[in-house]
């Protein structure tokens, strides 16, 4: 913990939950309306990690989903595609086999004993490496929250470093499960820990527990990304996931991220939405009629 305390002391971790809530309310009051436009809806669509993480997922179902991604431009020629697709490790091979590379859509996969992260580090590293070997471009992992709560922050940091190494050239997206963290201070600390360990993205939630993504967590996590960038010049990505389902939800998160981090982050190299329902809802808002494509 002492090693991590040195890290935390370099940043503003003196956060109050009530002040964070008020800051988010002020941002939305000032900026939501100007972002609530069709152009922003289209931008948000291009930020989506199209996700299927069901225990019942089959190769046929995932193959069908990938074919819809392949065919998307034929049905919506004026639209950008999604940024990535996200599946379980065992379904990466069929995803890679069906998804056409020329689409420019990345393959993301959850790994390292998602969603609980409650296993041996050797198992997490092996699964991560095998998932990359199978063809994943991005790996989404969860921090060991139990160890974090127990004060073993250095151990959590070291685990993430090992997972980063196992990713090789693939990007590492670290899930904080922010809804389980007990305060703004813990969210800030977990964000800094993950970034320092080598995360290319930090992500709010697995979508497997409540609460999932919140605007307050987004504000805190983006604040950590901004401070880190100001100190190092290194840009880290941000991904809200879990419960981001409606067009209004997307615009609210877009507004908070844009206000804290700025236009430089408003692209799918640095900003993603983890969502399964959001894609059709955004298409419905864009075309002003019900669309059920995905």
* Active-site residue, 239 included: yes
Q: Catalytic residue, from 124, 164, 173, 203: name it.
A: 203
* Active-site residue, 17 included: no
Positive/negative CA dihedral, 18, 209, 117, 273:
negative
Please report, for the domain that includes residue 23, its CATH number: 3.20.20.70
Is residue 9 included in any domain, yes or no? yes
Q: Catalytic residue, from 49, 137, 140, 200: name it.
A: 140
Is residue 124 included in any domain, yes or no? yes
* Active-site residue, 140 included: yes
Indicate whether this model's pTM tops 0.85: yes
What the block records as the tokens of 270 is: 């640095």
Q: What is the pLDDT of residue 102?
A: 86
Q: What distances in angstroms separate CA 143 from CA 113, 193, 268, 292, one per listed residue? A: 10, 10, 23, 34
> CA-CA distance, 251 to 35, in Å (whole number)?
7
Q: What distances in angstroms separate CA 131 from CA 126, 162, 209, 263, one per listed residue? A: 8, 15, 24, 33
Domain count, the chain: 1
Q: Using one digit for the tens of pLDDT, what is the confidence trace for 209-241? A: 899 999 999 999 999 999 999 999 999 999 999
> CA-CA distance, 46 to 207, in Å (whole number)?
20
> CA-CA distance, 207 to 204, in Å (whole number)?
9
Is residue 191 included in any domain, yes or no? yes
pLDDT category at 139 given cuts 50, 70, 90 is very high
Range of the domain at 40: 2-287
Q: Using one digit for the tens of pLDDT, what is the confidence trace for 17-62? A: 999 999 999 999 999 999 999 999 999 999 999 999 999 999 999 9
Is residue 292 included in any domain, yes or no? no
């Amino acid at each position: 913990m002492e090693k991590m305390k040195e890290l935390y002391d370099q940043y503003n971790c003196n956060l109050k939950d009530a002040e964070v809530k008020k800051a988010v309310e002020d941002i939305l009051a000032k900026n939501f309306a100007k972002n609530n436009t069709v152009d922003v809806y289209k931008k948000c669509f291009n930020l989506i990690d199209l996700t299927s993480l069901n225990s019942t997922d089959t190769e046929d179902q995932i193959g069908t989903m990938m074919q819809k991604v392949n065919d998307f431009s034929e049905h919506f020629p004026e639209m950008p595609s999604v940024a990535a697709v996200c599946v379980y490790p065992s379904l990466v091979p069929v995803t890679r086999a069906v998804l056409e590379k020329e689409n420019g859509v990345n393959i993301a996969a959850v790994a390292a004993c998602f969603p609980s992260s409650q296993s041996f580090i050797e198992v997490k590293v092996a699964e991560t490496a095998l998932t990359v070997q199978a063809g994943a471009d991005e790996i989404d992992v969860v921090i060991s929250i139990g160890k974090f709560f127990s004060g073993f922050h250095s151990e959590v940091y070291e685990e993430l470093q090992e997972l980063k190494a196992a990713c090789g050239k693939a990007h590492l997206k670290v899930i904080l499960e922010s809804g389980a963290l007990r305060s703004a201070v813990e969210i800030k600390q977990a964000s800094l820990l993950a970034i320092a360990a080598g995360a290319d993205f930090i992500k709010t939630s697995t979508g497997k527990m409540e609460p999932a993504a919140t605007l307050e967590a987004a504000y805190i996590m983006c604040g950590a990304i901004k401070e880190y960038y100001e100190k190092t010049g290194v840009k880290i990505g941000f991904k809200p996931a879990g419960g981001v389902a409606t067009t209004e939800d997307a615009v609210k998160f877009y507004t908070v991220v844009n206000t804290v981090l700025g236009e430089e982050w408003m692209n799918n190299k640095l900003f993603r939405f983890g969502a399964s329902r959001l894609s059709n809802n955004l298409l419905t808002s864009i075309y002003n009629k019900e669309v059920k494509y995905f």
